[in-house]
Amino acid sequence: MKTLHLKDTAAGIARAARIIKKGGLVAFPTETVYGLGGSAEDAGSAKKIYEAKGRPSDNPLIIHIARAEDAEKYAYTTPLYYRLAKAFCPGPLTMILKKKETVPYEVTGGLDTVAVRIPSHPAARRFIEACGVAIAAPSANLSGSPSPTEAEHVAADLDGRIDAIIYGGGCDIGLESTIIRLDGDGAVILRPGAVTEEMLGRLIHVGRDETLLKKPDADLRPQAPGMKYRHYAPKVPLYLLKGPHDDVAAYMKRKLDEDPDAGVICTEADKALLRGRNVTYLPNDAEGQARRLFSLLRGYDGRDAKSILCVIPPRTGIGLAVYNRLLKAAGYNIIQVGITIPVIGLTGQSGAGKSTAAQCFEQLGGFVCDCDEIYHGLLYKNSPLCETLGALFPEAYRDGEIDRKILSATVFSDKEKLALLNRTAHGAVLDRVRELLRQAQADGKKFAAVDASQLFESGYDNECTAVVGVCAPLQARLKRITERDGIDEERALARLENQHNEDFFRVYCDEIIENDGDITSVCDKIGKITEKYVK
């Protein structure tokens, strides 16, 4: 089959629409990635899509429409659908609804639900309108490889297998849309994207599919069928590097000394260290990382690299989507560098019993760092941290010391100041944690646990072998806080309200410990976790 290369002009789009009406396939640009479109009302077109991509036919397609109301023809809409469409569409959000008969089961992989999306890319919108039907479209890549963010990527994968490609330049966002399942008056994120959890969370209650950051297995099946398959993978095997930044950079440098062809994707901050080497950079901002990621991965196809090493970027905002794609692209292969003894991060809500869990690690022979204690320890009179904080927050500084009450009051209602304090304090605490862990490793300790209530906020989760979250019922937490800190229930509640809820820890942590107040059962569970991660 000869694939037509069309321009995104009126004539090009009219031509593309004629192809769709005849049951053919056209790749088209969207703001996320290029899609491979066929009529959503035609079972035959869906079959051709699966064939062209080499995609398993139980992996359903997303249908693309021009306006929110166009969904009526294909799905049972709900008030929540319209509310979210009004807030985020046209744009990178896909909603799962109950399907109507107009959508053949071939499109939905046999499911009774259908995924609906309203793209914002002008060429995509003109194309859908010209077709006059909804367009069923997966990403326009061969199944398993990174999604295409340029028309040239589509051509590399699908030239000769589809009828036409509309050339529309680079995709703005670069990662596929956020997929959500509507759930009562809230939603569950099945695939993270540019409509972030934070954005959705301002309007509705959001949860996450448990498998967003975990390797699916027989017990853990993703709710979006497609997410169980190997995905986004470059032809050369990809490994993610976990560890202190300096160690990661040094590891990359060593690898390049051994093999100048090795693939290396580092941060812009490493430019100086790796100057003159053949490496690629992820931009500093998460949006830039999202835009560049797939293109960077594809850039290694056809090169001599035997493997690609990549840094792990922070996972907040759209960073969560970047990390989700990287994990899948790497087949969950992570190399821990620098501190090579297993490090278990220990976190959870206040009063849930982190210190109890920490004691269990200690009894098992692990080295334990308590970040709270370290922070206090760094704030002695005239210490470097006191002086740094004193320069940033003079109102809380007196005679070489920091008044923590005044400091808390200063940052309490000022997000920027709070972020500045956190960056500074976390940086100092983590440097000390790394120093202590290196020492423990040299002393022959076999593993360590780092007890940190702000584990995720500080980004230290990226350096942990596994993260354990401690959860406990609200009443038990309140009781522990009021007794331990001598405050009343109202203040304890106010403190808890400012923290992440339990859902957050269930999704983010690799393991959860339910603390029912029985220390033996907590230690039993810690024992099992230690066996699993400490080889």
Binding residues (CB under 6 A) for ligand TXA: these are 30, 32-33, 35, 59-62, 94, 96, 108, 111, 113-115, 117, 137-139, 176-177, 179, 190, 223-227
Q: How far is the CB of 469 from ligand TXA (least distance, A)?
A: 27
Do residues 293 and 171 make contact, with C-beta atoms less than 8 angstroms apart?
A: no
User: Is the CB of residue 138 less than 8 Å from the CB of residue 46?
Assistant: no
Instruction: List the beta bridge partners of residue 280.
Output: 265
Residue 139 or residue 458: which is nearer to Mg ion going by CB?
A: 139
Going from the C-alpha of 104 to that of each of 51, 187, 220, 413, the distances in angstroms are 17, 25, 28, 53
Pick between residue 124 and residue 358 the one whose CB is nearest to ligand TXA: 124
Please, what is the minimum distance in Å from the beta carbon of residue 117 to ligand TXA?
5
Region of 54-62, 136-144, 187-195, 455-463 interacting with Mg ion (CB under 5 A): 136-144
Would you give the end-to-end CA distance of the chain in angstroms? 53
Q: For Mg ion, which stretch binds (CB under 5 A), given 22-30, 134-142, 214-222, 333-341? A: 134-142
178 vs 356, which CB is nearer to ligand TXA? 178
Q: Minimum distance between the CB of residue 125 and Mg ion, rounded to whole angstroms?
A: 21
**Least distance (Å) between residue 288 CB and ligand TXA:** 18
CB of 321 to Mg ion, least distance (A): 13
Question: Least distance (Å) from Mg ion to the CB of residue 177?
Answer: 10
Task: Single out the segment in contact with Mg ion by CB under 5 A; choices: 76-84, 133-141, 326-334, 414-422.
Answer: 133-141
User: Which residues, at least 6 apart from 48, have a Cβ–Cβ distance to it below 8 Å?
Assistant: 23, 24, 25, 38
Cis peptide before 260 (omega within 30 of 0): no
Q: What is the DSSP letter of 495?
A: H
Q: C-alpha angle 198/117/290, rounded to 5°? A: 50
Q: Which of residues 10-49 bind Mg ion (CB under 5 A)?
A: none
Which of 139, 145, 177, 441 is the binder for Mg ion (CB under 5 A)?
139
Contact in structure between 452 and 436 (CB atoms under 8 Å): no
Mark residues 82-121: x for contact with Mg ion by CB under 5 A, - for none.
----------------------------------------
To the nearest whole angstrom, how small is the minimum distance from the Cβ of residue 8 to ligand TXA? 15
Q: Of 117 and 298, which has the nearer Cβ to ligand TXA?
A: 117
Q: Do residues 232 and 294 touch, judged by C-beta distance below 8 A?
A: yes
AA identity, residue 225: P
Q: What stretches of 259-403 show up as alpha helix (H) in DSSP?
A: 286-299, 319-329, 354-363, 371-377, 384-392
Residue ranges in contact with Mg ion by CB under 5 A: 139
